């Protein structure tokens, strides 16, 4: 037998006339290769849960596909599950039945990987953003691309690359925790890492988090862990701001109806402006207004992404220089998943990273509707 039956959320080319996020996703029966057909370094994982990240929506909204996104394909890049089968040449200590978390893939050999900064792997794009053609087969016998971020976690059973697998067998992770930990491999580590590994604020900092989805709320909880005295949560959805206040935000700012964001950002941060800004919105007007509100010697961290060619910030160099501003890019929270994810699990168990408060579970058939919920979304697959 050369294939096994599975199911997956398959993305097809979006119809931009009637497009809403997820409207080009559908749950379909698919075939996956059986164990004896696995290639070097491939593992079959029975998924327990998957997070839905902004990147899944962003990449499947590209009309007509772009190089690296051959429709139809299976997205999903933060999953958890159990190992079903192991292909040839797998070097990691992994056994059938092990509980695993899935994160981004990296080559393990380039300078960034060797320095424990795999999010900046020299091969990040081809290993992650490109999906591999023909990993799955649909009912019509047509190839469906997979191994998105090395995993395509939107499949009931998926073909996963060894580089994306983090074995949590020795961390005593039970089934309920494993479900909850699915988004650690992207959204949570991105937000928490932006603070803990990139901005590294101190107690006196005035930290402002723009956008209070799963990434922003994780950043906010990380700032609380560091004892930052002023933590400002900014969003245009009231319920998110209320939630942020229960997780450590000392101030909330609802941007609805505000026409001078720079002044509002300064005012909410004691008139001087924030000293650290974490942007998870990827929305240029908000980024620009926030950049101009930054206090002297402030730090701005770019976390939110966009595929738009207009995703450009023009900066007055003299103002930038005289203010001593630090502008920092941040991908995947600069995480070294093998060390950072176990650390995040420890923070959760200590009650400092309240994943249960920012998660909501959906059956996989309800995923398109779940995209309207204002928080971290996960699906049982």
Segment 174-193, which members bind Zn ion (CB under 5 A)?
186
CA angle 252/254/256 to nearest 5° reads 175
CB of 179 to Zn ion, least distance (A): 18
106 or 255, CB closer to Zn ion? 106
Sequence-separated (6 or more) residues with CB below 8 Å from residue 375? 213, 214, 217, 240, 243, 358, 359, 360
Count Cα neighbours of 285 within 13 Å in the Cβ-side half-sphere: 5
Q: Which of 58, 62, 107, 305 binds Zn ion (CB under 5 A)?
A: 107
Calpha distance 165→92 (Å, rounded): 9
Q: Which of 6, 50, 55, 230 binds Zn ion (CB under 5 A)?
A: 55
Long-range residue pairs from 265-271, CB within 8 A, at least 24 positions apart, any chain: 265/208, 265/234, 265/289, 265/290, 265/293, 266/293, 268/208, 268/232, 268/234, 269/206, 269/208, 269/230, 269/232, 269/293, 269/295, 270/206, 270/230
CB of 177 to Zn ion, least distance (A): 20
22 or 298, CB closer to Zn ion? 22
Which range in 47-55, 66-74, 82-90, 305-313 contacts Zn ion by CB under 5 A?
Answer: 47-55
CB of 35 to Zn ion, least distance (A): 28
104 or 136, CB closer to Zn ion? 104
Q: Which of 110, 237, 305, 371 binds Zn ion (CB under 5 A)?
A: 110
Q: Which of 48, 100, 102, 113 binds Zn ion (CB under 5 A)?
A: 113
182 or 228, CB closer to Zn ion? 182
Residue listed under structure tokens 């092990």: 98
Asked whether position 330 contacts Zn ion by CB under 5 A, the answer is no
Torsion of CA 42, 339, 243, 249, to 10 degrees: -150
Calpha distance 253→274 (Å, rounded): 13
Asked whether position 253 contacts Zn ion by CB under 5 A, the answer is no
Asked whether position 53 contacts Zn ion by CB under 5 A, the answer is yes
Which range in 81-89, 103-111, 257-265, 369-377 contacts Zn ion by CB under 5 A?
Answer: 103-111
CA 254, distance to chain mean position in Å, is 24
Q: Which of 45, 86, 102, 121 binds Zn ion (CB under 5 A)?
A: 121
79 or 252, CB closer to Zn ion? 79
State the number of binding residues for Zn ion (CB under 5 A): 8
Which range in 17-25, 121-129, 164-172, 304-312 contacts Zn ion by CB under 5 A?
Answer: 121-129
Asked whether position 127 contacts Zn ion by CB under 5 A, the answer is no
Sequence-separated (6 or more) residues with CB below 8 Å from residue 164? 102, 103, 104, 105, 149, 150, 151, 185
Binding site for Zn ion (CB under 5 A): 53, 55, 106-107, 110, 113, 121, 186
């Amino acid at each position: 037998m050369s294939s096994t039956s599975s199911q997956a959320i398959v993305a097809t080319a979006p119809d931009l006339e009637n497009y809403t996020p997820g409207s080009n996703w559908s749950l379909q029966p698919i075939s996956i290769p059986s164990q004896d057909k696995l290639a070097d370094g491939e593992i079959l994982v029975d998924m327990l849960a998957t997070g839905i990240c902004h990147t899944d929506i962003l990449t499947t909204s590209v009309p007509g596909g772009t190089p690296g996104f051959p429709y139809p394909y299976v997205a999903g890049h933060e999953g958890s599950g159990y190992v079903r089968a192991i292909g040839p040449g797998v070097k990691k200590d992994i056994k059938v039945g092990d509980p695993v978390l899935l994160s981004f893939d990296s080559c393990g050999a380039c300078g960034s990987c060797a320095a424990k900064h795999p999010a900046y792997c020299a091969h990040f794009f081809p290993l992650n953003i490109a999906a591999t053609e023909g990993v799955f087969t649909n009912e019509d016998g047509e190839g469906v691309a997979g191994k998105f971020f090395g995993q395509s976690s939107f499949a009931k059973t998926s073909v996963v690359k060894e580089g994306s697998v983090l074995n949590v067998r020795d961390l005593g992770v039970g089934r309920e925790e494993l479900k909850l930990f699915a988004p650690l491999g992207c959204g949570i580590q991105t937000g928490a890492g932006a603070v803990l590994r990139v901005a590294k604020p101190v107690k006196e900092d005035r930290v402002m988090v723009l956008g209070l989805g799963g990434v922003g709320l994780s950043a906010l909880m990380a700032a609380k862990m560091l004892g930052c005295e002023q933590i400002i949560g900014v969003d245009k959805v009231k319920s998110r701001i209320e939630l942020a206040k229960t997780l450590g935000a000392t101030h909330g700012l609802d941007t609805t109806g505000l026409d001078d964001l720079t002044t509002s950002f300064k005012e909410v941060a004691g008139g001087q402006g924030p000293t650290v800004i974490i942007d998870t919105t990827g929305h240029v007007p908000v980024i620009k207004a926030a950049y101009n509100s930054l206090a002297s010697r402030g730090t701005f961290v770019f976390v939110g992404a966009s595929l738009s060619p207009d995703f450009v910030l023009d900066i007055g160099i003299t103002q930038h220089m005289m203010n001593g501003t630090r502008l920092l890019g941040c991908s995947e929270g600069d995480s070294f998943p093998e060390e950072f994810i176990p650390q995040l699990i420890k923070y959760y168990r200590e009650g400092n990273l309240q994943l249960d408060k920012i998660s909501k579970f959906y059956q996989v058939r309800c995923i398109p509707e779940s995209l309207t919920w204002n928080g971290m979304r996960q699906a049982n697959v």
